[in-house]
């Protein structure tokens, strides 16, 4: 895809706030006609529509719950799917987080992305390749936390690790159709989720005597980690630029913490294994 030309239609999930909102606006700024998927309408969505006025592309807000797609169908002109909708529950030890909490996390962070991919891939494939040989893009917003073992984060980390593995398999399966798959491992974006996260308050595990000391240490370590957090707008600009570049890497760091981690070698082994698998299967 060429940023200088009209881009076609993009779908962004979880677009009412935070990074999803910024991604929807940046894509419209770059000339995409954007469907901004939100779980419910409200003041945030009204503000989003207003912020998109005057941009090169258009923006249309659509109710879209990734955990319950119902009879939703992918737009016929779809060129780009951004699986951004995410959920993070309480910071609890594995033994204390109810299975329903695990299910809720995976329903949004993994199964929602799978359900959308299943409905969008046939449309992306049918739309064929553009002048640059690209048959559309699927972008999965992951987490740098996948590569950082830590307590009380197991459900979220496991769901994002599963999303990263999904991205690898999709990359191999969809390469013959020119459909590009990109994984964005977010390492720190100034959003409501971050401000309500462990960098700003103790984990819920602190209330459980068996884990109190560990939770206190985790809270202290998290407070010390404040550098490298970027604004949603800054990261969205970098994400969209990465999506429009034709590069072989599956994983594209787009914020300061992710850039630093990948520069230090995070993800290199995974990329090497993926390159070998692509050579074998495509």
| Residues labelled as active-site residues | 156
Question: What Cα–Cα distance (Å) separates residue 139 from each residue in 82, 103, 194?
Answer: 5, 23, 21
| CB atoms near residue 210 (< 10 Å) | 11
List the end-to-end C-alpha distance of the chain, in Å, as a whole number: 22
Which structure tokens are listed for 47?
Answer: 């503000």
Q: Count Cβ atoms below 10 Å from residue 127 Cβ, excluding itself.
A: 18
- Cβ pair 189, 235 in contact under 8 A: yes
The residue behind tokens 């609890």 is 92
Whole-angstrom distance, CA of residue 115 vs CA of residue 31: 27
Rounded to whole angstroms, the Cα distance separating 194 from 200 reads 8
Chain position carrying tokens 């072989």? 248
Q: What are phi and psi of 35, to 5 degrees?
A: -100, 115
Q: Which of 257, 269, 236, 255 has its CA nearest to residue 14?
A: 236
Q: Is 197 left (phi over 0), alpha (psi -120 to 50) or beta?
A: beta
- Dihedral angle sign, alpha carbons of residues 112, 231, 249, 9: positive
DSSP state of 109: I
Structure tokens belonging to residue 40 = 């419910």
């Amino acid at each position: 895809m060429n940023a200088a030309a009209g881009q076609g239609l993009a779908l962004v999930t979880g677009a009412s706030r935070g990074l999803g909102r910024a991604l929807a606006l940046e894509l419209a700024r770059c000339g995409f006609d954007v469907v901004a998927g939100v779980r419910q309408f409200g003041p945030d969505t009204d503000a989003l529509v207003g912020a998109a006025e005057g941009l090169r592309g258009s923006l249309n807000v659509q109710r879209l719950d990734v955990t319950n797609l119902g009879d939703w169908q992918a737009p016929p002109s779809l060129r780009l799917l951004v699986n951004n909708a995410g959920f993070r529950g309480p910071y609890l030890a594995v033994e204390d987080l109810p299975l329903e909490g695990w299910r809720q996390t995976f329903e949004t962070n993994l199964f929602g992305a799978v359900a959308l991919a299943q409905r969008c891939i046939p449309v992306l494939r049918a739309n064929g390749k553009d002048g640059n040989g690209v048959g559309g893009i699927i972008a999965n917003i992951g987490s740098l936390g996948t590569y950082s073992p830590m307590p009380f984060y197991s459900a979220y980390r496991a769901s994002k690790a599963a999303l990263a593995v999904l991205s690898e398999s999709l990359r191999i399966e969809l390469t013959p159709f020119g459909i590009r798959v990109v994984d964005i491992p977010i390492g720190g974006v100034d959003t409501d989720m971050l401000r309500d996260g462990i960098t700003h308050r103790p984990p819920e595990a602190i209330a459980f005597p068996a884990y109190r000391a560990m939770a206190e240490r985790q809270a202290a370590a998290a407070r010390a980690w404040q550098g490298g957090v970027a604004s949603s707008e800054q990261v969205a600009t970098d994400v969209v630029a990465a999506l429009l570049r034709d590069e072989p890497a599956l994983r594209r760091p787009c914020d300061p913490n992710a850039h630093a981690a990948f520069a230090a070698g995070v993800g290199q082994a995974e990329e090497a294994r993926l390159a070998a698998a692509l050579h074998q299967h495509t």
